[in-house]
């Protein structure tokens, strides 16, 4: 695994707008994720705070490149395309090159929402950075902060893969301003769009 903090396009001063699903009230997810973090603490990864669990839908753009008028237009276009609310399952536990995370199922409602938001972004002149075909929905619990042999992480995660999936009710999508701070992502919601 590789250091997540060395991803291109991010510095300590980068601030960008993103579409995200956030889970501040998902107590079952928070409780189980905290348990998993404790069980994996010996790996020394950067744990995500309980108010930081999220599913990234896409980067809209750097804040200094987007005017308030463009942002208002984007929100209006997104409101016209909102999808139905849905329920997901967070399935323990997997890893990517730079993080330990939950897999998400089913993908279909997330992909439909991403497609709708991508259309709103394009109509607003702010195309998302990645196409829907590149989406791999997940919710991270810890970021890798150095090079680590993947087999060590796999072995540590193996017992946690037997935990039950956690239901996540999705009623809103957030447009957030995102930045990095002390080895963590922080954000503030700019707009919260209710799903139908």
> Torsions phi, psi of 60, nearest 5?
-85, -45
Return d(Cα 103, Cα 113) in angstroms, integer: 17
Q: Which residues of 117-138 are buried (b: 16+ CB within 10 A; e: fewer)?
A: bbbbbebbebebeeebeebebb
Q: Which tokens belong to 27?
A: 């107590």
pTM for this model (two decimals) = 0.95
Q: What is the pLDDT of residue 6?
A: 84
pLDDT at 8 over 80: no
The residue among 173, 140, 141, 166 whose CA lies nearest residue 27 is: 166
- pLDDT the model gives residue 7: 77
Q: State pLDDT tens for residues 72-87.
A: 999 999 999 989 999 9
The total number of residues written for the chain in this structure? 196
């Amino acid at each position: 695994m590789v250091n997540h903090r060395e991803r291109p396009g991010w510095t300590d001063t980068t601030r960008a707008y993103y579409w995200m699903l956030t889970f501040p009230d998902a107590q079952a997810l928070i409780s189980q994720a905290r348990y998993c973090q404790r069980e994996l603490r010996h790996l020394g990864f950067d744990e995500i705070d309980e108010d930081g669990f999220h599913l990234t839908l896409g980067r809209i753009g750097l804040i200094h490149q987007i005017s308030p008028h463009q942002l208002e237009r984007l929100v209006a276009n997104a409101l016209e395309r909102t999808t139905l609310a849905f329920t997901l399952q967070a399935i323990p536990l997997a890893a990517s090159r730079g993080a330990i995370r939950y897999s998400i199922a089913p993908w279909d409602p997330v992909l439909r929402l991403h497609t709708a938001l991508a259309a709103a972004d394009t109509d607003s002149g702010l195309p998302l950075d990645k196409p829907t075909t590149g989406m791999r929905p997940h919710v991270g619990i810890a970021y890798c902060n150095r090079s680590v042999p993947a087999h060590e992480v796999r072995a540590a995660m193996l017992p946690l893969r037997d935990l039950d999936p956690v239901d996540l009710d999705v009623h809103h999508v957030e447009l957030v301003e995102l930045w990095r701070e002390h080895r963590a992502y922080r954000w503030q919601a700019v707009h919260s769009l209710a799903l139908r």
